[in-house]
A and B are shown apart, each in its own frame.
Chain A
Amino acid sequence: MRILPCGDEALLVEVANLQEVEDLYVRLRRDTPPGVTDLVPAARTVLVAFDPTTTGPARLRAQLHEVSPGPAGRGSRPTGAPAPGTPGRDTPASPPAAVTGGDGSRAAADAIVTAAEDAPSTVIIPVRYDGPDLVDLARLTGLTPAQIIRRHMRGPHRVAFCGFAPGFAYIAGLDAGLRVPRRDSPRTRVPAGAVAIADEFTGVYPRASPGGWHLIGRTDLTVFDLTRDPPALLAPGTPVRFVAVGAASVRT
Chain B
Amino acid sequence: MTGASQRSAEIAIVAPGPFATVQDLGRPGLAHLGITRSGAADRHSLLLANRLVGNLTGAAAIEVTYGGLIVRFTHPGMIAVTGAPCPLELSGREIGMYAPVDVQAGALLRVGAPARGVRTYLGIRGGVDVPAVLGSRSRDTLAGIGPEPLVAGTRLPLGGEMSDPPTVDLAPHARYVDEPELRVLAGPRTDWFTADALRTLWAKAYEVTTDSDRVGVRLRGPAMRRRTTAELPSEAVVAGGIQIPPSGQPVIFLADHPVTGGYPVLGVVATEDLPLAAQCRPGQLLRFRPARRLVNGLPTR
Q: Which A residues have a C-beta under 8 Å from some C-beta of B?
A: 4-10, 12, 14, 37-47, 49-50, 52-53, 55-57, 161-170, 226, 230-232, 235-236
Contact = CB atoms under 8 A, between A and B. Distances in A.
Contacts of A230: 33
Given A163-B234, A165-B143, A231-B134, 9 more contacts: A4-B187, A12-B187, A41-B236, A42-B260, A44-B235, A47-B235, A55-B297, A166-B35, A167-B34
Nearest to B291: A8
Contacts of B187: 4-6, 12
Interface residues of B, number: 38
Contacts of A45: 233, 235-236
Interface stretch (B96-104, B111-119, B265-273): B265-273
B299 interface: yes
B107 interface: no
Given A4-B187, A4-B188, A9 B271 contact: yes
Interface string B111-154: 00000000000000000000001100000000101000000000
B241 interface: yes
B8 interface: no
7 contacts: A9-B238, A9-B271, A10-B268, A45-B235, A45-B236, A53-B296, A161-B234
Contacts of A43: 233-235
Contacts of A14: 188
B259 A163 contact: yes
Interface string B30-58: 01111100000000000000000000000
A67 B217 CA distance: 36
Interface in B7-39: 28-29, 31-35
Give the 6 A-B CB pairs with smallest separation, nearest first. A52-B297, A7-B268, A163-B260, A43-B233, A47-B236, A4-B188
Contacts of B35: 166-167, 231-232
Interface string B263-297: 00100111110000000000000000001001011
B223 interface: no
A198 to B, nearest CB: 11
A10 to B, nearest CB: 5
A41 B235 CA distance: 8
Nearest to A227: B133
Nearest to A234: B33
A109 to B, nearest CB: 15
Contacts of B143: 165-166
A98 B139 CA distance: 31
A21 to B, nearest CB: 10
B296 A226 contact: no
A49 B29 CA distance: 9
A164 to B, nearest CB: 7
A215 B203 CA distance: 46
Question: Looking at B133, B186, B233, B271, which has the most chain A CB atoms within 10 Å of its CB?
Answer: B233
Interface string B232-258: 011110101100000000000000001
